[in-house]
Amino acid sequence: MAERSQTAPEAGNNTGNDDIIGGNVSKYMVLPAGYCGQPKKGHLIFDACFESGNLGRVHQVSEFEYDLYIRPDTCNPRFRVWFNFTVENVKESQRVIFNIVNFSKTKSLYRDGMAPMVKSTSRPKWQRLPPKNVYYYRCPDHRKNYVMSFAFCFDQEEDIYQFAYCYPYTYTRFQHYLDSLQKRNMDYFFREQLGQSVQQRQLDLLTITSPENLREGAEQKVIFITGRVHPGETPSSFVCQGIIDFLVSHHPIACILREHLVFKIAPMLNPDGVYLGNYRCSLMGFDLNRHWLDPSPWAHPTLHGVKQLIVKMYNDPKTSLEFYIDIHAHSTMMNGFMYGNIFEDEERFQRQAIFPKLLCQNAEDFSYSSTSFNRDAVKAGTGRRFLGGLLDHTSYCYTLEVSFYSYIIGGTTAAVPYTEEAYMKLGRNVARTFLDYYRLNPLLEKVTIPMPKLRKEKPPPYKHPLLRGPANNHPNGKGDKKSSVNHKDPSNPF
């Protein structure tokens, strides 16, 4: 690494230099010190002023080396993990070293072989950089903070290159995905707007079940799933999409699940944070997963809306809210795993272990040995902890975590990096596991794959103007509560 001058900026902690990072760089061209001529190829242009972008500052250390500063979450300087930026105006065969110098976490999967993601104009599929080009270490030039450095060689002068912490999954991508599902006009898929964020982005709620389960007076067994309360945890969205894709498919297991269960899914609880490129917080700097006890309708409107709905379902004697699963991504552990609650009732505690044990049998990347049950005080405001205390003994609340990096298959020691498809496969396996949990397997032999049914009438437009495409409302049941029963080798991407 090049030696830094005494005047080079230092990476921050919660005080100091990070305070002056007020936004993302916008088409920022880095010129050599003292250079006065016309800009030319090789004078890199950095940009993060796009959806889910994050890069706060750039400092050129030498001709080949650059210190890059993550922009902290909006209104909260404590969180600096997610980055997502582009580089252009490169020179063919130009070699660089990029140093991410102000991470707010010390522990990281970069210690275990994780590498940043990269794509370019001519190669639009995300790939991981070779781990041999990535270094994670304490840096004496940056207050002994941990720094992640990676070496890269640009090979196409006309390309725009994009680098990210993990596979991005934007709010716009999510809306397009839901629009495409809605256009299929499936009679067992319902989309409604449960509320809006502070910046007026919509909070979507999906209901996936057979229409017979939604008739007036019908008893319902509800599985409630949420995701993306922490906006930088993008694997959550891929897992959630895997769940949704499976449940709306014509797979015989999906047909049985829709006949017997009602799936309520709020896939993106923090749309503002996702759009802004935050790692953990909302627009106003709140970690929403610490505010379940008393969410504010103006400061935490999406959380407030979801909590109101869950409490309403809980108080409905015809509705049995059987599962709550909140999907996250983990920055220091491998595999998928779960967190559950601790109960004084030993039998209830043992029953809570059944679902993760079954999931472990269905998903090679899910680790039951990493699954844990706790009641740490610091987790008191999370959805899992709050709802675990609110709901009765027939309900089970989990946090489903999946690694930002990789999984290790049982009996081996080799880490298998996650892909977008592997994350979605985990979601499909989560959905399939409900068949085992409810012992519905014998019904598989009787299932014939039905032709998809279309709604006979075009439903009325939803009252919220931001909702694109048709949407349906449906009644909630009333009555007695039911009891529980092609690309290049990613190791050499460029």
Q: Could you list the pLDDT tens digit for every one of the 494 residues in the chain? A: 444 333 333 333 333 444 478 899 999 999 998 898 899 999 999 999 999 999 999 999 999 999 999 999 999 999 999 999 999 999 999 999 999 999 999 999 999 999 999 999 999 999 999 999 999 999 998 888 899 999 999 999 999 999 999 999 999 999 999 999 999 999 999 999 999 999 999 999 999 999 999 999 999 999 999 999 999 999 999 999 999 999 999 999 999 999 999 999 999 999 999 999 999 999 999 999 999 999 999 999 999 999 999 999 999 999 999 999 999 999 999 999 999 988 778 888 889 999 999 999 999 999 999 999 977 766 777 888 888 878 878 899 999 999 999 999 888 888 999 999 999 999 999 999 999 999 999 998 876 555 555 554 444 443 333 333 334 444 333 344 433 333 334 334 44
- Quick check: is 401 catalytic? yes
Question: Domains plus CATH for the chain?
Answer: 28-164 (2.60.40.3120), 171-440 (3.40.630.10)
Residues 6+ apart with CB under 8 A from 252: 444, 447, 449
Q: Are strands 319-330 and 396-403 parallel, antiparallel or unpaired?
A: parallel
Q: Are strands 319-330 and 220-227 parallel, antiparallel or unpaired?
A: parallel
* The two three-digit tokens of residue 217, written as one number: 């007076």
DSSP class per residue in 368-419:
STT-EEE--GGGTTSHHHHHHHHS-TT-EEEEEEEESSEEE-TT---EEE--
Nearest CA to 340 out of 307, 313, 311, 379 is that of: 379
Q: What is the DSSP letter of 183?
A: H
- Angstrom distance (rounded) from CA 80 to CA 146: 12
What are the C-alpha distances in Å from 44 to residues 3, 50, 122, 127, 451?
A: 20, 18, 18, 21, 55
- Angstrom distance (rounded) from CA 26 to CA 55: 9
pLDDT at 454: 55
pLDDT at 281: 98
What are the C-alpha distances in Å from 197 to residues 10, 194, 261, 295, 303?
A: 35, 10, 29, 13, 9
Catalytic residue among 10, 322, 401, 420: 401
pLDDT at 11: 34
242-266: string of b/e by CB count within 10 Å (b at 16+)?
A: bbbbbbbeebbbbbbbbebbbbbbb
pLDDT at 450: 55
Residue 152 main-chain phi, psi, to 5 deg: -150, 145
